[in-house]
Amino acid sequence: MRPLQIGITGGIGSGKTLVCKIFATLGIPVYDADSRAKALMTTDGILISAIKKEFGELSYKTDNTLDREYLGRTVFNHEERLQTLNNLVHPRVAEDYEGWVTRQQTPYVLKEAALLFEAGSYKALDRIIVVSAPLYIRIRRVLGRDRHRTEEQVRDIISRQLPEEEKVRMADFVIYNDESQLVITQVLELHHKFSTMQMKRTQ
């Protein structure tokens, strides 16, 4: 029996990673789609060949690691090229995720992705959680975490993500990480819900 598949998303600085860490301490496996995408770009033969074919051999250094600087320059500010790169990466991540799910034995699993809605991958998941926090708190958190980023850069990233109201509208569940409600309590409630949902499915 496949585990129930729960997607978890939210804008930059909403606290997705923090929330996922709480689920992980409850023994729930978390697939971090963004990190896996990065990893697959240097380990997946099919993806490496496709990237070299599309963006040139220079996309990889002589030691076979991805030349992030070159690729960044090549796709940065080129919407179409960025889309092409995403179109190469997404199917490989989807396949990697499929394999990962079949190896899990918990009642449910989490798939964490910053652009779950934007990339369309939410459609294959059973339920979606959105982590929500007000804009000013998100900006403050990211500036505190990423010392190399300016407020302007953070606002620019936010402007390219789906607005939070839209995400909340599309969500099945919302975790409010707005520093006025306890996150752990909300996670425990959902953990109980998903564990019993799975039990109902197996009956």
Positions touching ligand ATP (CB under 6 A) are: 10, 12-18, 114, 141, 145, 177, 179, 183
- Of the two residues 12 and 50, which places its CB atom closer to ligand ATP in the complex? 12
- Of the two residues 51 and 119, which places its CB atom closer to ligand ATP in the complex? 119
- Of the two residues 3 and 13, which places its CB atom closer to ligand ATP in the complex? 13
Question: How much of the chain is helix, strand and coil, in % rounded to 5?
Answer: 60, 15, 30
Among candidates 195, 190, 188, which has minimal Cα distance to 3? 195
Minimum gap (Å) between residue 137 Cβ and ligand ATP: 8
- Of the two residues 50 and 114, which places its CB atom closer to ligand ATP in the complex? 114
Minimum gap (Å) between residue 90 Cβ and ligand ATP: 18
Minimum gap (Å) between residue 68 Cβ and ligand ATP: 17
Contact 158, 42 (CB under 8 A): no
Q: Is 138 exposed, middle or buried (0-12, 13-18, 19+ CB in 10 A)?
A: buried
Minimum gap (Å) between residue 179 Cβ and ligand ATP: 5
